[in-house]
Amino acid sequence: MGVELRNGEAGFHELDDADFTDYDLVYHVRDALTSVSMGDSDKYNELVAVMHHRGPLAPDEVALLVTSLKALSGAVSYIDSVLHESLLSSIFSMNMWNYRPDVMDALLELIISLAASNGTYIDSCLDMLVGNFTPPNYFTDMLKQPRGIARKDQVLSRVHSSLKVLADLVPLSPMRLLPIIIQRKPHYCSKEIILVIYVENMLKLESGIFGELVGSAMLSGLVDLLLDLDVEIGWDDILQDESAKGIFSMELEDVDEDIDDELMDGGELPRELSRKSLVGNLFARKLDSLMVLIFEHLESCEVGRRLVEVFETLLQPFQKTVLTAYKSKFSQFVMFYACALDPENCGVRFANMLGDTFISNSHPPLLRMSAVAYLASYLSRGKFLSTSLIADTLKRLVDWCLDYCTIQEGEINPKAHRIFYSGCQAIMYALCFRMRSIMGVPWFKSQLLMPINLILSHKLSPLKVCLPSIVTEFLRQSKAAGLFITSERFNFDDYLESELSKGFGGMERLDMFFPFDPCLLKRCDSFIRPYYVYWSMVRPTYDDGQEEGSDEEVDEAPLGGNTKSREDFDLDEFDSAMNQMSITPKDSLKHRFGAALKEPLRMPSRIRPSTSPESL
Amino acid sequence: MECLKVSEAKMVVYVHPSKSTKIYDAVLRELSSLLFKFDENFDGVVLAYEFDILDKSAKILSGIHPYIGVRIKAKLLLFSPKPDMLLEGRVVKVTQGSIHVIVLGFASAVITEEEIRDEFVYKIKHEEEVFSSKFHKHHTIKVGTMIRFLVKSLDEEILHISGSLIPAHTGCIRWLAKHLDDDTITGRSKKKRRENEEESILQDHGTVSGEALSFNSDHRIKKSKKEKRPKAES
């Protein structure tokens, strides 16, 4: 290196002595470039050496570099892609993160001139710009210091503005940019900071001037990345220490400040434990950070009044990747959050999309079952959803199930009628959460109650097939509300466990898939929490004697769902009811049924009921 | 502009059987994939199209070719610049060594110093970079000027044109219109009108399409879909 540097200095020595104008410099460089074809490449080599210098630069070297870059920008039309290959490759391998702003500017000016001068350079130039989205490896530690952050701003703002300038000069460049960005997307195993910075850049492009062009590709690339991380986190990671503790792991709201006390008191917080099992999980941490970035982006879209469009673009990758993925765990919360930000548009659109997917015959059964699982979970958990939307959506499901009943004559057959059973389960699940509020809908009795009655008493016996915990809770609430009492078929104590639900859920156990169960990613959860209905916030129709006359409805539950008073209290019935509603399934059937057979009702020992009795 | 032409083409579009209920959409999609790319068969860049499906009965020959062959007759608006043709475009950047132009809102063109005739001198006027004529001081080229230039070559991959301002009938369109064909008043106003039309097309970012023509949505230059193209263009 040292030798090259000296050569470089010597070559340009004359420049220091005389008073040269910019134009003279340009001519000097042109001369160096053209003389290569005549066999004289001394000056050219000096030029390459200046570009190729790596490592710290002294002030005079910086000046030399800037001057050379500027002179080259004036001589781009003399650069030949074959003759000057070494020069081009050293220019394209320069990393902006290594330089001061004045060098960055000169370098970008050159890159833009190159791209605009000749079509053959455009891809390399775009590639070079995209390559600067992320810092070199050595720099990642610096990003925590103010100096590193300042450098990051300097580089990224310049890269993005150059992309804009380039798009003005070469209007088709965004079309070429797209594949490059997707191609250079870091692997999900890369460092968290690299992933985060790259995603920041993608989101910046999405909201930037050519968002219209590249937006959908950016978002679907992002969703792919989320899902890559998502599938790396196994259900085992989430539930590992719950294995012998009961049928379901419990749904718990965490209590940030109170947690320590609780633990000292010997209180057991499976949710926290689940979370703990995720603590060491790098993928979970990366996913958490990326999701937070996307949430913030969605917020900014909401402020900029473009959330509806962005949501529409997000729906496609959601349908294509998340919905079809095997039990995605976290990625779906992006949709949930977008819906929460704009319930009137996005929220309704999402419910309709899921409903359409379920009802449409042209989709494969697994997709339809998955869609209805999403729908049920969404209708139950979205605090922002209006009762009328929930009732309307349920009515669609009920109508479909009723139609199905009328054309089917057979007996119970979980496999053959799995779509139907998943639909019934979805209706019951959502009603468990919403029964009380939905009874206020004027047409509830005529439009929903009667058909549901017919469906449930049909020969296909959904009550025997669907997940017993849901059936039990549903029947319990309907009994308390005085519904369905006329039918003799409902024996409220019969359905505790059933092998049939396994049958309709299939290998995938879609019967136990509740996508919007409480989010276990810590930072994500803080975004989701205000818009989320926890089971403990639901006021069922029955009265356990624990309610103490509280009038709190789901909709009135305190934002944040945090509890301030967390006295221990004794719950028996209430406890088990909630435990049965606790959702997140164990993935191992052996555990589920093995444990269940041994102690069919062993739920609450470690599992505190949703931990927060704030609704009581 | 002489590099724009309308071609009629008889084509067979192969549609995947899964799209058999939406043949029309599938054909649209297939044709849209041609837009803004140079196609050797047409010897040009497809800018717009319209088509009729000739035969309603398209069958799958199972075992031979699993796609549905839909025969169509299409009208294509093609952009095919050839060397020595004249092109018009808006200047987006002027430097000492080059003039950068955008043609029809999507193709970029560059005119390097060697291709700018000696009449034009680079100057900085009111902090603006301009090339102005030594002989006619009103004949200037700066950012925003519409210029007419000669095509030297075309990079078909990225639709990058390299152009020339050597011939005397090239330069700022407005100036040329006033000074080159100084015919009758009507002639001039006709010319002027035409020029305005052309500019308005360019401002519409290249949406040179007839009705029912459809554009691929993958390009931002597209804003309004239904701009009638004046006859003079074809």
Q: Worst-scoring range by mean pLDDT, A239-253, A298-312, A313-327, B81-95?
A: A239-253
pLDDT at residue A502 in the model:
65
Cβ <8 Å between A170 and B158: yes
Q: Mutate which of A22, A25, A77 to disrupt the B interface (most B C-beta within 10 Å)?
A: A77
Q: Residue A62 burial (CB < 10 Å; 0-12/13-18/19+)? A: middle
Is 50 exceeded by the pLDDT of residue A8? no
Structure tokens at A120: 């053959």
Q: Taking 90 as the threshold, does the pLDDT of residue B110 lie above it?
A: yes
* Inter-chain CB proximity B95 and A174 less than 8 Å: no
Give the range among A145-154, A496-505, B126-135, B221-230 with minimum mean pLDDT.
B221-230
Name the β-bridge partners of A510: none
How close is the nearest chain B Cα to the Cα of A301, in Å?
Answer: 20
Is the minimum CB–CB distance between A26 and chain B shorter than 8 Å?
yes
- State CA A113 to chain mean position distance: 38
> Is A116 within 8 Å of B108 when comparing Cβ atoms?
yes
- The domain spans of chain B are 4-79, 86-180
Sign of the dihedral through C-alpha B142, B148, B149, B155:
positive
The predicted-structure confidence for A409-422, as pLDDT tens digits, reads as follows 777 787 888 889 89
Tell me which residue in A75, A113, A176 faces B158 most closely, judged by beta carbons: A176
List, in order, residues 6 or more apart from B200 with CB less than 8 Å away.
none
State the fold for domain B4-79.
Dna Ligase; domain 1 (3.30.1490)
Task: Report pLDDT for A603.
Answer: 30
Tell me the percentage of chain B whose pLDDT exceeds 70.
73
Q: Which of A570, A579, A586 is nearest to A609 (CA)?
A: A579
Domain ranges (residues) in chain A: 2-183, 231-615
For B77, phi and psi rounded to 5 degrees? -95, 120
Determine the Cα–Cα distance for residues A152 and A146; give it in Å rounded to an integer.
10
A180 touches chain B (CB under 8 A): no
- Are B98 and A77 in contact (CB < 8 Å)? yes
Closest CA to B44 of B214, B191, B161: B161
Minimum Cα–Cα distance from B99: chain A residue: A117
Q: Is A34 on the interface with B (CB under 8 A)?
A: no
Average pLDDT over residues A362-384: 92
Q: Give the CB-side neighbour count of residue B103, counting CA atoms within 13 A.
A: 30
Mean pLDDT of all residues in chain B?
A: 77
CA-nearest residue of chain B to A74? B97
Contact indicator for A384, A340 with CB cutoff of 8 Å: yes
pLDDT of the residue at A54: 77
Distances in Å between the Cα of A203 and the Cα atoms of A397, A526, B61 are 36, 21, 46
Residue A613 pLDDT > 50: no
The answer to whether the Cβ–Cβ distance between B220 and A120 falls below 8 Å is no
Instruction: Output the CATH code of domain B86-180.
Output: 2.40.50.140
B32 contact A CB<8A: no
Of A119, A168, A175, the CB nearest to B218: A175
**pLDDT tens digits, A121-133:** 999 999 999 999 9
B47: helix, strand or coil:
strand
Residue B95 sits at the chain A interface (C-beta within 8 Å): yes
Q: Which amino acid is at A183?
A: Q
Give just the sign of the alpha carbon dihedral A432, A436, A440, A445.
positive
Q: What is the ipTM of this complex?
A: 0.73
The whole-angstrom separation of Cα B225 and Cα B203 is 13
The residue ranking higher by pLDDT, A88 or A535, is: A88
| pLDDT, tens digit, 9 for 90 and up, residues A551-610 | 333 333 333 333 333 333 333 333 344 444 444 443 333 333 333 333 333 333 232 333
**Lowest-confidence range among A65-74, A319-328, A600-609?**
A600-609
- Smallest CA–CA separation between B93 and chain A, in Å? 8
Q: Which residues have a Cβ under 8 Å from the Cβ of A365 and sit 6 or more positions away? A: A418, A419
Q: Which positions 420-479 of A are in contact with B (Cβ < 8 Å)?
A: none
Amino acid at A168: D
Does the beta-carbon distance from A119 to B158 stay under 8 Å?
yes
Identify the pLDDT of residue B89. Answer: 93
A318: its two tokens: 């959601």
Dihedral sign, CA of A325, A326, A330, A336? Answer: positive
DSSP letters, A517-579, are: SPP--HHHHHHHGGGB--GGG---SS--S-STT----GGGSPTT---S-------SHHHHHHH
Q: Is B101 on the interface with A (CB under 8 A)?
A: no
Q: Does B93 touch chain A (CB under 8 A)?
A: yes
Nearest neighbour of B158 by CB, restricted to A113, A122, A168:
A122
Query: Band of the pLDDT at A520, cuts 50, 70, 90?
Result: confident
Q: Which carries the bigger pLDDT value, residue A250 or residue A534?
A: A534
Place of tokens 């000016």: A109
Residue B162 has pLDDT above 80, yes or no: yes
pLDDT at residue B186, rounded to an integer: 42
pLDDT at B225: 38
Q: Compute how many other C-beta atoms are within 10 angstroms of the C-beta atom of residue B195.
A: 16
A119 and chain B in contact, CB less than 8 A: yes
